[in-house]
């Protein structure tokens, strides 16, 4: 076990608490492995009837993964990055297929890797402080951890909008989209957890007893324009549609998209197009692992992490610099499958 994870039992409730507040609980490989070990142990333990995942302290649930490490690895041989993705995606898949009730509290910042451990859970609780996003295109990556599965299944091109823009959603919007299925105000969380510990087999009732009043979601008023402007799987068409829209909203989103990696945006659109037809979440994780192993070694990922997270100059120099310069062949190369012996497998897989 690592001190970055607190693993405990409260009665018959297994509890996993992220405990890396200085990094807003960003995930490391060791944290993912510790969580998986606990879940695998509790899966066969009759004394554990449900599992709760939250964070111990600080201003967010989970800000993502350790992307600085990933970029450093990508700048060399990429092996440390692959090891991280293998552990993280195994955890995502384990939660997606877990036979016992899983509960997650998405209080505060819930981004990237935090989304990956939230969306597979059966009970997903948002609060008034939830700030949910998949901001990967800003650093030359793509919405992984199952993003190709989850986002592609949203209605009206909302998944494409979220993937490309990195839009930050509040708790009410998460509830509206189905990312969350419960809304509890932060002040009630401690009492709710106490109730869950007493009645883990009746999680829905325990959570529902503390349901808060849900404010209106701002996203609803833009559904039609999102469906219209993000209708295409071709990035250049989306930019053209936003230009033609001639509204303040469209201008804001156009500025946002022009700040992102053009290569990452095209990769993300293709990921969602393929993810919509994926037969299983296991297949999704296998495809995303191969893609991630390739993308972390691109100049854009190393540059994006440098500009936004290391030097914090916020001036990434993307290569290629424009969508028109990103060819289909460039994208095809990144989606090339790994050799069979290097492919990702879930726990209990054949390799």
Catalytic center residues? 65, 113, 136, 144
Q: What DSSP string describes 126-184?
A: E-TT-EEE--GGGGT----TTHHHHGGGSSTTHHHHHHHH---B-HHHHHHHTS-SEEB
Burial of 351 (0-12, 13-18, 19+ CB in 10 A): exposed
Strand partners, 211: 184
Residue 146 near residue 116, CB atoms below 8 Å: yes
Q: H-helix or E-strand containing 111?
A: strand 109-111
Q: Among candidates 324, 214, 313, 224, which has minimal Cα distance to 266?
A: 324
Three-state DSSP state, 118: helix
Query: Residues 95, 169, 167, 58: what is their CA dihedral angle, to the nearest 10 degrees?
Result: -70
């Amino acid at each position: 076990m690592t001190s970055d994870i607190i693993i405990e039992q409260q009665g018959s409730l297994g509890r996993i608490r992220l405990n890396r507040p200085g990094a807003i609980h960003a995930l490391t490989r060791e944290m993912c492995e510790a969580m998986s070990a606990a879940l695998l142990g509790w899966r066969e333990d009759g004394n554990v009837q449900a599992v709760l995942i939250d964070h111990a302290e600080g201003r967010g649930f989970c800000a993502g993964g350790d992307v600085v490490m990933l970029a450093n690895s990508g700048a060399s041989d990429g092996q440390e990055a692959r090891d991280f993705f293998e552990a993280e995606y195994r955890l995502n898949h384990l939660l997606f297929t877990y036979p016992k009730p899983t509960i997650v509290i998405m209080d505060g910042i819930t981004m990237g890797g935090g989304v990956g451990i939230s969306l597979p859970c059966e009970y997903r609780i948002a609060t008034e402080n939830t700030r949910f996003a998949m901001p990967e295109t800003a650093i030359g990556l793509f919405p992984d951890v199952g993003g190709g599965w989850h986002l592609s299944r949203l209605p009206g091109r909302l998944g494409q909008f979220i993937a490309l823009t990195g839009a930050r959603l509040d708790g009410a919007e998460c509830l509206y989209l189905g990312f969350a299925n419960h809304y509890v105000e932060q002040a009630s969380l401690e009492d709710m957890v106490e109730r869950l510990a007493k009645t883990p087999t009746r999680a829905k009732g325990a959570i529902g007893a503390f349901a808060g009043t849900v404010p209106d979601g701002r996203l609803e008023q833009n559904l039609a324009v999102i469906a219209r402007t993000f209708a295409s799987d071709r990035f250049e068409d989306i930019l053209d549609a936003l230009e033609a829209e001639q509204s303040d909203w469209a201008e804001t989103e156009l500025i946002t998209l022009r700040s992102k990696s053009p290569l990452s945006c095209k990769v993300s659109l293709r990921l969602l197009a393929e993810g919509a037809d994926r037969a299983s979440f296991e297949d999704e994780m296998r495809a995303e692992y191969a893609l991630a192993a390739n993308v972390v070694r691109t100049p854009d990922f190393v540059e994006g992490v440098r500009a936004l997270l290391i030097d914090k100059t916020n001036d990434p120099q993307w290569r290629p610099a424009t969508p028109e310069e990103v060819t289909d062949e460039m994208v095809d190369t990144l989606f090339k499958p790994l050799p069979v012996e290097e492919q990702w497998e879930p726990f209990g897989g054949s390799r």
